[in-house]
């Protein structure tokens, strides 16, 4: 999917990959990965082939990093970048993605809390002494009395 023009112009000079990584908080390896996925569009290169990232590219990288920090998948991030760069977007499209992600997070949190409650109960039942009896191992083996 071709990307729309980059969001509002950001002033400044183009920077190399190391500086773009520093400014955005994204590792150079991930920067190249995002570029390979098409999240940045075409990145300019010097005559000798080194990447040059514009201030808009760095801004996009910060956007991607924030999405990753919130746990969005790469597919969702690609959608969000596309919507962010499309000034004619409907905010309802963005909200739908965010709500779906929030629902998934809620389900994962509930599953983890259930695991925590189960483990807490097992730990409480285990004497933790020199005896070989262990309700934790019994439960894991499916032999809980």
72-119 pLDDT, tens digit per residue, is 999 999 999 999 999 999 999 999 999 999 999 999 999 999 999 999
Question: So what's the pLDDT on residue 2?
Answer: 43
Model pLDDT, residue 12 = 84
Q: Tokens standing for 50?
A: 């080194």
Confidence band (pLDDT; 50, 70, 90) for 8? very low
- Token pair of 114 as six digits: 């259930």
CATH number for the domain running over 1-89: 1.10.1660.10
Flag whether pLDDT at 17 surpasses 90: yes
Cα–Cα distance for residue pair 25/32, rounded to 1 Å? 13
Angle at which helices 28-36 and 55-69 cross, to 10°: 100
Domain ranges for the chain, please list them. 1-89, 91-145
């Amino acid at each position: 999917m071709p990307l729309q023009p980059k969001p509002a112009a950001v002033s400044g000079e183009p920077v190399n990959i190391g500086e773009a990584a520093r400014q955005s908080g994204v590792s150079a390896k991930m920067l190249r990965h995002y570029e390979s996925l098409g999240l940045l569009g075409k990145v300019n290169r010097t005559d000798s082939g080194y990447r040059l990232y514009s201030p808009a590219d760095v801004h996009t990288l910060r956007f991607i990093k924030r999405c990753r920090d919130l746990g969005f998948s790469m597919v969702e991030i690609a959608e969000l970048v596309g919507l962010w760069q499309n000034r004619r977007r409907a905010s309802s499209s963005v909200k739908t993605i965010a709500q779906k992600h929030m629902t998934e997070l809620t389900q994962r949190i509930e599953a983890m809390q259930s695991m925590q409650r189960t483990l807490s109960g097992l730990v409480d039942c285990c004497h933790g002494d020199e005896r070989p009896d262990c309700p934790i191992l019994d439960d894991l083996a499916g032999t809980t009395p």
